[in-house]
Every structure is written in C-alpha cells, then in structure tokens.
Chain A
Amino acid sequence: MLGEGIIKGMVETARNFFGSYHDPARFVTIQYPEQRVPLKENNRNFPFLVFDGADTEKGLRCVACKICEKECPPQCIYIVPERDAHGKLQKHPKIFDIDISTCMSCQICVEVCPFDAIKMDQEFELSTGDRFSNLLLHKQDLAKPNDYYHKIHPTEATLVDAQLAKERQLAAQRKAGAGAAPASPPKHAPEKLVPVG
C-alpha cells in the first residue's frame, strides 16, 4: 500500500525515541569528559620514549642511533646525539623531538627501533591553544617509565621485557666467554611482537 513504508519508518523512529528513555541498548552515548570507555589494549596514537629505572635521563633506552629519524615517513622526529667533552658521540640523545602535528601514527619508528626504546602511547587529549610549540614534544615530555608501558600495553610490554632479558643474558654469556668462539649470533633481530588483542 502506498504510504506503508512511511508508517513502518515512523513506528521504528518512535520506538527509538521512547526506547532511548528506558532501554540502555538504544541509548549508548557516553558523556565523554565525565564518563570514559576504557581504552582497548591495542589502542595507540603517538610514540613515546621508554626509560628503565627511576632516572628519566639515565634510564632512557634510546641510544640516538637515528634509525627512526631516517625511517619516519613524515620526518617528524629530530634527534641530536649527546657528545662528551672531547666531541665523542655518546649513546644518548641530547635532543629528541617529535612533532605530533606532523606525526601520522604509523608506528614505523617502533618497528625499526632495535632497542625497544620507542613505543606507542595511548594519550589522546593533546589539544592545545598553541599549535606551534605545544605540539612539538621534547625529550622530557616523551620519556615515560617502563611501568607506564606495562600499564597501557601489558601483553606487549611483557613480551618486550622477556626479549630484553634474554638479550642481556646472551650479552653476559658472550662477555663471560670472550676468548672462546663467538657462540651466538651477535646481531639482534627484533622479533615481530604479536600483540594479543
């Protein structure tokens, strides 16, 4: 019949209207700043730097090898390595900046890092009144403890810790049997971490 579809549609919208007052399934809005949905473990947006221990500077895993800087497609990473008094390169970044206004959250820096020093963060409330200086994150903004990494990505962090422990153990063995034949492969192949979601 002509007009049947209109009546059906109106019944449906009426059910939506009244259902939104008593049926939680029809009223799914989360009042964001007051209510929050817990983030999924695999949620990620911008990179941060992991440090071990308590000291932000000393504990940084980053050795300023600049691989991530070279690989970064939008070139949002800027690294200057530390140098000692003689001008010798140190395994430590002096400057480590990420311009999150340019970063596209591709995670390539995380994939290429041989030292598991850079990981993806879950922080998303980054809006600011100054889009030039406040969106350029410096080393002290980026450095976050390993505990934080465990908090946001527990599965992945556990895998990474196990991997690092194994490597450290291998390195210690190598140091112990220094005169003997090189037992283990010296190079570190970053294993693909398969995060469990």
Chain B
Amino acid sequence: MTFMAMITCLPHMLLLANPDEWLVRLKQTIVHWLPGPWQFVISSLITIAVLIAVFGALFAVATLIERKGLGRIQNRPGPNRVGPYGVLQPMADAVKMLIKEDVVPRAADRVVHFLAPLVLVAPVMLAFSVIPYGQGLVPINLDAGVLFFFAVGAASELAVFMAGWSGHNKYSLLGAMRAIAQMISYEIPLVLSTVTVVMMVGSLSLVQIVAAQGGYWWGVIPRWNIFAPWGLAGFVVFMIAAIAESNRSPFDLPEGESEIIAGFLTEYSGFKYAVFFMGEYFGMFAISGLAITLFLGGWHAPLPYLGWVPSFLWFFGKLFIFLFVFIWLRGTLPRLRMDQLMNYAWKCLLPLALINIGVAVIWRFTAGWPGPLRWLVCALLIVLAFVWLEKTWMKSRELKPRTYHYAS
C-alpha cells in the first residue's frame, strides 16, 4: 500500500469500521508506516503512552471527584477556587506537590526510601496491561491474565514494606506492618472469590472471561456473572476485599492519621508522596477494572440495543460508577479497628468465599434445572450461610469482661 493510498483509505477505515476497531486500526496504521524492526517497539510504546495518559488523566479527575463528592457528602462545596467550579484543582495540587521540598530523614535508608514509590507504581501499571478495555482493546492478551494480575499485585506489599522500613520511623514501620497484614489477609478472599469466576468460565484469560459474559438472558438481562447467585456473593466479597487491598476507607487504617500519623507514608513528602498517592489510585482503578471484568461483563453493554456505543465507553462508565461507590463508602463509614479488620477477613469473608465456591459448584452441576429454581436454590444456600455467619459474628460481638491471655 502506498502512502497516498493509506491516506485516502484512512477515513474510510475510521468511519465504516466498528468504533472499537478504529482505535486499534489507527494504531496499526501509524505502526504500518514504520520500518519493520521498529514496529513492535513503537506499537508497545504507543500502548504504554496511551495507558499512562488515560489513567493519569483519570487520576486527576478522580482526585477532583473525590474531593468534590466528599465535600457534598459533608454538606460543603469542596474545592471551588481554582478555575470554574474548581476543575483546575488537580493541576494546582500537582504543582504544589512538585515544588515541595523532598524531605528525606537523616537516618533513612536513602536508596530503599527512593525505590519504594517506584516499586509501588510499576506493578500497578503492569496490572493495567492485561485488562480488556473494549472489544479488541487489550494491551496484552495473556493466557494467565488473572494470575498475572495477582502476581504483580503481590509486589505492592513489598513496596509498602520498603516504604515503612526505610524511614526508620516507628509510625512508618507500624503502618507498614498493618498494611501488609491487611493486604495478605484480604488477598485470600479476593482470590477465592475470583476462583469462582475462573471455575465457571474455565479460563484464566481475562479476554475469555469477558467473552463468556456476552449475550443476554431472555434478550434483556445481560449474562454477567453478577446476575448469578454465586456471582453476586462473589462480587460482594470481592469488592470488600478490593477496598481493603487498595487501603481505602473504611479499611484505611495503615494510614490512620489519628493513630499513626500517616502510616508508611509518614516520612514521604513532595513528589514521592505524590507518586505513592498515584499508586494508590492506580491500584483502585486496576482492581475496579478487574471487578468489572470478572463480574460486570467487562465492556459489554447492559442492554442489547445499546451495543452501538463504543465498548470502551461502557468499561470506563462502569469504572466511574465504581469510583463513585468508593467515594461514597469513604464518606460514610468510619475506620475499623485492627482486630475488627482481621476478624472480618478471616472469620467472615473467608468462610463466605469458601461457601461461595461450593455454591458455584452446585450451580455448575445443576445446569439442567429450570432457571428460576436453580437460581433460588443457590441463592438460598448463600443466604443461609450469611445468616449463620451473622449469628456467630454477632454472638462474638456481645460485650463481656475482657480477658487477657498473655498478660494475666
């Protein structure tokens, strides 16, 4: 194809093709002009640049929405001074963060202190690379996408430890210990609730998991996993664990400022703090993206006749809903106590996730039953499990004289 031919057929390709495809085709067209050996490199770089730009912009928007939303929840307007309605506030925040002095404590381990923010952000950026954002819009289609996601997510615990330890500050270290304990504890229900989806779809590939959720029941209800009883329970468990994984309120006690100043962020300032902040938001986006992919049908439209809307818009629309829910929860719930946090993970979420796997198995082997009956039986099993858990949970919360096992 000559250069002129490329130019003439470009609008044709852009207009006639599916809106999702033209993004891909645009990239292919750009890459096509390049000499052979560079094609792979430039193609990867374009993908990386788009990812960073999109999520960087989303980060800025998210901080603004969060501050405005929290303000409205607390009956105040939120930031409204920079630009019209305060929309330029993220820029002001960024400038402020960038020009702040970067304080490193004298006793700190400078190298580890410097590396920790990078170790936090890099894996999260990697996690973005396996999420399918739209039809054909997946940076890397890995066979073991789910496994990859959790594998890179595990590195963030190391980053938190590095941040907490390098400052040589007791609050940093305490915060890091709390954060790691919390992340490890909540990773188990997170993975166990993911297992149900993997079992039902029979694949670890996120693209296939999304593809398996296409289509509609009776032409109306989308075949998303959340509309099955095991999917709903799994989604709830997954989201609670996801909030804890991303250290968001009400599970933000690694940064509980009333107790340990700012946790593992205590010794960070300026740009490094901003990078940590960004890493946390990126983690929130990544895990929301995974939840959308696993349970909410990824980029599929909620109604059949809305299929003409570009699929990535559905993905990002769902992501924004998740963002709002995160902010809403943060504006509502007070912070948990450390023992409540651990009890909740191990005694409530973990049994529920295990029972949910059992229910998923029952769902799988009752495929021949009439739909509503199958749904009711499985839902009943989950409700029974929930009621039983509630009984034991509430009983253990009854007030009684405190006993000290180790101090008496």
Contact = CB atoms under 8 A, between A and B. Distances in A.
Interface of A: 1-2, 6, 9-10, 12-14, 16-17, 19-21, 26-29, 31
B242 to A, nearest CB: 16
B72 A21 contact: yes
B254 to A, nearest CB: 21
A8 to B, nearest CB: 9
Contact of A2 (B74, B333, B390): B390
Given A2-B390, A2-B394, A13 B332 contact: yes
Contact-size category for B: 10 to 19
B386 A2 contact: yes
Interface in B331-354: 331-333
Contacts of B390: 1-2
Contacts, number: 43
Given A17-B328, A19-B75, 4 more contacts: A2-B390, A2-B393, A16-B72, A31-B80
A13 B75 contact: no
A20 B72 contact: yes
B48 to A, nearest CB: 37
B73 A13 contact: yes
Interface of B: 69, 72-77, 80, 328-329, 331-333, 386, 389-390, 393-394
Contacts of B393: 2
Contacts of A2: 386, 389-390, 393-394
B77 A27 contact: yes
Contacts of B389: 2
Contact of B75 (A10, A28, A31): A28
10 contacts: A2-B389, A10-B328, A12-B332, A13-B331, A16-B73, A16-B75, A27-B75, A27-B76, A27-B77, A28-B75
B332 A20 contact: no
A26 B328 contact: no
A26 B329 CA distance: 19
Given A1-B390, A17-B69, A6 B75 contact: no
A17 B72 contact: yes
A26 B394 contact: no
Contacts of B80: 31
A58 to B, nearest CB: 46
A6 B332 contact: yes
B73 A17 contact: yes
Nearest to B348: A2
Contacts of B76: 20, 27, 29
A30 to B, nearest CB: 11
Nearest to B330: A13
Contacts of B394: 2
B328 to A, nearest CB: 6
B73 A10 contact: no
A27 B74 CA distance: 9
B350 to A, nearest CB: 15
A165 to B, nearest CB: 49
Nearest to B329: A10
A28 B73 CA distance: 12
Most buried by B among A2, A6, A14, A27: A2
Nearest to A2: B390
A19 B75 CA distance: 8
Contacts of A14: 328
Given A2-B386, A20-B72, A10 B77 contact: no
Closest 6 CB pairs of A and B: A2-B390, A13-B332, A20-B72, A9-B332, A17-B72, A13-B73
A19 B73 CA distance: 9
Nearest to B76: A29
A17 B74 CA distance: 8
Contacts of A21: 72
A5 B386 CA distance: 16
A139 to B, nearest CB: 38
Contacts of A16: 72-75
Contacts of A6: 332-333
B324 to A, nearest CB: 10
Nearest to A5: B333
Contacts of A29: 75-77
A1 B393 CA distance: 11
Contacts of A17: 69, 72-73, 328, 331
A122 B331 CA distance: 37
Of B331, B389, B393, most A-chain CB atoms within 10 Å: B331
A10 B69 contact: no
Given A1-B390, A2-B389, A2-B390, A20 B328 contact: no
